[in-house]
Amino acid sequence: MATKDTPVNDPMLDPITGEFAVIAPGHTFKSVTEEISNIVLTPRTPLGWFFGFAIAGGVVLMLLVALTWLFLRGVGIWAVTIPVAWGFAIINFVWWIGIGHAGTLISAILLLFKQGWRNSINRFAEAMTIFAVVCAGLFPLIHTGRPWLAYWLFPYPNTMNVWPQFRSPLLWDVFAVSTYATISVVFWYIGMIPDLGTLRDRAKSRFGQFFYGMLAVGWRGSVRHWVRYEMSSLLLAGLATPLVLSVHSVISFDFAVALLPGWHTTIFPPYFVAGAIYSGFAMVITLAIPIREFYHLEDLITLRHVDNMCKVMLATGLIVAYGYSTEVFMSYCYSASKWEYFMMWNRMFGPIGWAYWVLITCNIALPQLLWSRKLRRNVPFVFLMSLIVNTGMWFERFVIIVISLSRDYLPSSWGTYRATKWDYMTLAGTFGLFTFLFFLFIRFLPMIPMSELRLMLPQAKIRAEAEPLPEAGD
């Protein structure tokens, strides 16, 4: 609803509901197509794109240096040791997988619930999912120490009679992540086919016509094509929706099946899923705000999208807060276990207790400011809040893994964890890889779905009422 701080004659406000519009008024089918396709088909790439791409490429080189040294010397260059046998590799793996969950949620679940506001952000959210899974997939490979033997994790017919141990959480991760990546890539690509056909028809160069024509796989925009496209989108959305719940639940079992204080708890699956959506939407905001500013897309990615994403963050943040409070309650009041009691005390006041209070501040305290409608529509503040939330979610994984492992049942085996420069280089390098891939995506592929956005225009609704779409057999 409009407030006293909102101008009454603001053209972006819906005069009926008082909410900001999902797309700015005055757009036509042609204007939407030109605004989005010109970003990809422009003959002059903006200098800002080259600058960001060069920085991302430099950070990727740092990742390559860290991985090369890791393969030459082994995982001993990291800080992992006894008792903290899991370190940055698993922390970063869980964090990156969580980042990707918002893309699947926006693409699949909001599609099934017919939420039109998803149409301006779902394409780059899907791309974000794929690139985050690529970054996450690096860590299960490199933390085993012998990535060239990673194919042993798959149940392929072999002459060695050595089969994967399906009671190992490492196997669960392999199957969960590979399934998630496959569905995400297929969903992302099929959703782009109508737009790729548009780019093929609008491209001026022979290479562009060939490149986008090959990717468009013969799309002509016929009734039969549209019916099959919509049917396949719904089927893939139905397949992807359970993955939002199952993938991070499976990853949470890596910890929940262990008999370690702080890990062995049944709250982990829903708690991890909510946290994944929480951090994923924060990353969508982190990407959406610079994109809308740099490419001047405020008329397509409006304050309505920013406001709705803040609301989702607020809701999932409260679920995460409930998970934190459940852990405290079980440890202090219900478990009757001195080990659980000490685990929670150690998290709060132990040698690395500062990390626990960082996550409480970033994930619970500061996001409560999003209850304010005015702050939810303050773009710089929302961007800053998205960075704070993702920082807090990384520290959540750090607290769960490092602090729980550093002090377990046997005081004589207690230790500490200090990450090395190679740990930090690998983490920073995955940021570079993610950004590098994202820069390529926004330059050569349509980051906003033209076909879906055109359906949001009043002209599309009038035409649909006047000329109903024929059935597939017509």
Q: For residue 394, what pLDDT is reported? A: 95
Residue 457, SS3 per DSSP: coil
Q: For residue 3, what pLDDT is reported? A: 47
Residue 232 CA neighbour count, 13 Å, CB half: 15
* All residues at 6 or more sequence positions from 71 whose CB lies less than 8 Å from its CB, including other chains: 147
In whole angstroms, what is the distance from residue 398 CA to residue 356 CA? Answer: 9
CB 193 within 8 A of CB 230: no
Per residue of the chain (474 residues), give pLDDT as tens.
444 444 445 666 665 566 778 888 888 889 999 999 999 998 889 999 999 999 999 999 999 999 999 999 988 899 898 888 888 999 999 999 999 888 888 888 888 888 888 888 999 899 999 999 999 989 988 888 888 888 888 887 877 777 887 888 888 888 888 889 999 999 999 999 999 999 999 999 999 999 999 999 999 989 999 999 999 999 999 888 888 888 889 999 989 988 888 888 889 999 899 999 999 999 999 999 999 999 999 989 999 999 999 999 999 999 999 999 999 998 888 888 888 899 999 999 999 999 999 999 999 999 999 999 999 999 999 999 999 999 999 999 999 999 989 988 888 888 888 999 999 999 999 999 999 999 999 999 999 999 888 888 877 766 555 555 444 444
In whole angstroms, what is the distance from residue 276 CA to residue 271 CA? Answer: 9
In whole angstroms, what is the distance from residue 145 CA to residue 286 CA? Answer: 33
Residue 388 burial (CB < 10 Å; 0-12/13-18/19+)?
middle
Q: For residue 1, what pLDDT is reported? A: 45
C-beta neighbour count of 68 within 10 angstroms: 10
In whole angstroms, what is the distance from residue 321 CA to residue 393 CA? Answer: 12
Q: For residue 2, what pLDDT is reported? A: 45
CB 335 within 8 A of CB 286: no
In whole angstroms, what is the distance from residue 254 CA to residue 269 CA? Answer: 10
Cis-peptide into 269, omega within 30 deg: no
In whole angstroms, what is the distance from residue 449 CA to residue 435 CA? Answer: 21
Token code pair at residue 153? 């994790």
Residue 202 CA neighbour count, 13 Å, CB half: 19
Q: What structural domains does the chain harbor? A: 47-441 (1.20.1630.10)
In the block, residue with structure tokens 């039109």: 116
Q: For residue 34, what pLDDT is reported? A: 92
The DSSP 8-state label assigned to residue 13 in this structure reads B
C-beta neighbour count of 342 within 10 angstroms: 17
Q: For residue 62, what pLDDT is reported? A: 95
Find the radius of gyration of the CA atoms of the chain: 24
Residue 65 CA neighbour count, 13 Å, CB half: 14
Token code pair at residue 106? 């926006």
What phi, psi does 266 have (nearest 5°)? -85, -5
In whole angstroms, what is the distance from residue 273 CA to residue 320 CA? Answer: 9
pTM of the model: 0.90
* CA dist list (Å): 82 to 265, 410, 417: 23, 12, 10
What phi, psi does 471 have (nearest 5°)? -75, 165
* CA dist list (Å): 197 to 40, 45, 218, 300, 452: 13, 22, 8, 21, 14
Q: For residue 473, what pLDDT is reported? A: 41
- The H-assigned helical ranges of 165-267 are 169-202, 206-216, 223-256
